[in-house]
Amino acid sequence: MKKQVLIIVAFCVAVVFFIVLLPAISRAGGVVPLENIERPVWNIGDTWKYQVVSKDGSTVKKFVKTLTVKEKDAEGYLVFIESEVDRVFYRYSLNLNFVEAKDEKGTKLENANPEIPTYQWPISVKSKWWKKDYFFSEGLDSGNFSVTGEVTGAETLIDAEGKEIATIRVLEKRDNQWGRFYQRNHYWLNPSVKNCVKYIRERTRDRREEGNLISFTPGPK
């Protein structure tokens, strides 16, 4: 009887010991979750390439999209976005928030006033949600919109090379002036690439775009 009691006690001690060590064992085999991301600073020449799947109704396209920082000043950045379906220049603020888009001839395609507050830095898993209003025009359409942003937590993704990468996920909700759905954007951010390693954009009229980072090439400082 005494031998059986000792066996049971030893088994219980082993179980408790394993439970205590389990978090450390899990962390040892993977990446450490992110808790905070400071505002990245882009440099001229920074280049990101994404593998994109775009859906517009029943039409699905797959292509590579390249983003390259062309200019940098006291107000923000000019980024050239190129793919087989588009070639446009985007203006971003220093907070990496969208300001306007123009085609290669300089014709304005989209404009936001003030900037669309996608990000509110620093991005932290403890961040509270934020909400702001802005005026947006796209072609002949324009109107007042509101953005609600929130951090949904830390997530580990697998990058293009099959390696684990830590991210913080941001959900951005854009609604029109009547509070109706206009766009939902999901961004998985990582400081080592100074941008998102994955994004999903969902818009009205059954439009969706998903991009996964293939590579990031830093520009000269």
Domain boundaries, the chain: 39-217
| DSSP codes of every residue in 3-48 | HHHHHHHHHHHHHHHHHHHHHHHHHHTSPPPP-EEPPP---TT-EE
Q: What is the pLDDT of residue 127?
A: 82
Q: Rounded to two decimals, what is the model's pTM?
A: 0.84
pLDDT in tens, 9-48: 444 434 333 333 333 333 345 789 999 999 999 999 999 9
> Does CATH number 2.40.360 belong to domain 39-217?
yes
- pLDDT value at 4 more than 90: no
- Residue 30: per-residue pLDDT: 72
The CB density around residue 206, as the number of other CB atoms within 10 Å, is 10
Amino acid at 85: V
DSSP-derived pairing of the beta strands 130-138 and 76-82: unpaired
Would you say 106 and 134 are in contact if contact means Cβ atoms under 8 Å apart? no
What is the number of other CB atoms lying within 10 angstroms of the CB of residue 211? 21
